[in-house]
A and B are shown apart, each in its own frame.
Chain A
Amino acid sequence: MNKIALLARCVPLTTKLGQVVPITIQCQKISRWVAPTLMELKKREDKLGGKKVTPRNTFLEWNLEAELFAFGKRLNEDFDSDLLLEAFTDRSYVIKEEMKQKEMNIDIKVKDNRQLAEEGEKFIKEYIQLYLEAVLPKFPQEGVASIRQHLTSEDILANVSLHLGTKDIILAAEYPVDKFILANAFKAIVGALLQSSGEEKAAHFVRDFVVTQIQGKDVNEYWAIEDPWGMLTGLLAKDNTTVEPRLIGETGKNTLLACYRVGLYVDKKMISSGFGETVATAKEMAAREALKKIFGTEDHMKPINFKLEGIPKRTGHTRHQISAS
């Protein structure tokens, strides 16, 4: 069809060209039809009113009960089926249902997942805080708080929720569901698990699906230290040691690509080194490197343990209180 249209468009051109000697052009075999075809298909789709979304739960082959059963089994958890259904019911769905019921003059109460989500969120935050404190014993409170904030952010929770297969099961007014609804559903699922199987099971669930998201990541990235040099000297002053920065390498001093290496020395022993385009940056990076060593989160740190059983106890010993110092 496309070809005919193209031919028809070129008819006046080809008749004119007929008088000239035809030229054969050798060219690479690149499929030049792909982009035009896709563009044409998009144009037709737009003409019909944009892309149509058909939610999976409107298909003929859809059984919500079976899906809920399989959801629990897949994750190796025993959910209370009513609670699980409640956890998957979003507020927007309830509002939509109530409107419908008003029109038909019936009144069946449907519970939404707000309460479960609230409980779940509280539990997730508390547990992650305790877990991080247990696996990163030397890391300061501020750092732990920022990692926790990252792990409980909407993006991360929505991603976890999406990969657990909640996308199709969630009862919402509109599909595809947005990130907030996905994250909320995940919190509600944790809340439901908390009520149906107890704290330990819920804790292991959060550990296996949320805490593992920091696997392979640099935990220092989540905590932006304002003044690393000040913090390092402050920490070392408590032990009555002084740190001495030394320039231990430079390349291309007078060029734009200058690079410096600064080492930090305590008692003539190097504790860390850092690079930078200026001496000041290199010194700051060296201080950061030293802080990483103090906090036990250097690049070659032991991998974070993701197998801690139960809910870790809050440890008694004092942690570095950076804000206090």
Chain B
Amino acid sequence: MSAFKRVQQWATFARTWHVFDCKWQDPYDSAQVIKKYLMGLHKPIYHPTNDCGDVVVCINSRDIALRGDEWRKRAYFHHTGYPGGASWTLAWELHNKDPTMIIRKAIYRSMKGNLQRRHTMERLFIFPGEDVPQDIMQNVTNQIRQLRLVPTRLDHIPEEEVQKYPKVMDYPQDYVLK
């Protein structure tokens, strides 16, 4: 192999590190996007036997958003293997115990259950907040775009900006504001 072809191959199969901000994102929708990067499906050189998956660093996993009343209704099942060892943990309970668990399970579930899945999961880093170790953050050279816009709370918008916002109509004089 010539020197050119060697570095060409090195570059083609180089692993890129991506960062994904989970703030206000649905973990189950995000998993469909993140999985593509983890498995290398976004690359034109993808092939199932080709080890071309990238590394994804998820941040702010504490601030994920589940739909509807899923925090109360979604249950995570676990069985210890002993009789009577079954347990159902609700999403809000699990999130309180480990804020990285819901997104991790969502991504794990989005991939096909083959032998490769556990190795692919090794390339996923999840952090509950924004503080990521420096040696990991230095590797990151790309950012995966979020699926939804992150809404801003009214009380986080400066008072001045709120005042300037256009008004569609006036309340009637006798309207009682609660």
Contacts and interface: CB of A to CB of B under 8 A. Distances in A.
Whether chain A touches chain B in the assembled complex (some CB pair under 8 Å): yes
B51 to A, nearest CB: 11
A255 B57 CA distance: 15
Interface stretch (A111-119, A152-160, A178-186, A271-279): A271-279
Interface in A162-211: none
Contacts, number: 51
A257 B10 CA distance: 8
Given A253-B138, A254-B138, A255-B139, A285 B15 contact: no
A252 B4 contact: no
B141 interface: yes
Nearest to B134: A254
Majority-rule SS of A interface residues: mixed
Given A251-B16, A252-B15, A254-B135, A259 B10 contact: yes
B11 A275 contact: yes
Interface of B: 2-4, 7-8, 10-11, 14-17, 55, 135-136, 138-139, 141
Contact of A276 (B10, B55, B136, B138): B10
Given A252-B55, A254-B138, A285 B14 contact: no
B47 to A, nearest CB: 19
A96 B55 CA distance: 70
A203 B16 CA distance: 53
A250 interface: yes
Given A251-B141, A254-B138, A254-B139, A274 B16 contact: no
Interface in A244-269: 249-255, 257-259, 261
Given A276-B7, A281-B7, A285-B4, A251 B135 contact: no
Contact of B14 (A254, A257, A288): A257
A93 to B, nearest CB: 40
Contacts of A250: 141
Given A218-B2, A221-B2, A250-B141, A255 B15 contact: yes
Contact of A275 (B10, B135, B136, B138): B10
A251 B13 CA distance: 11
A252 B138 CA distance: 8
Given A251-B16, A254-B138, A255-B139, A261 B11 contact: yes
Nearest to B16: A251
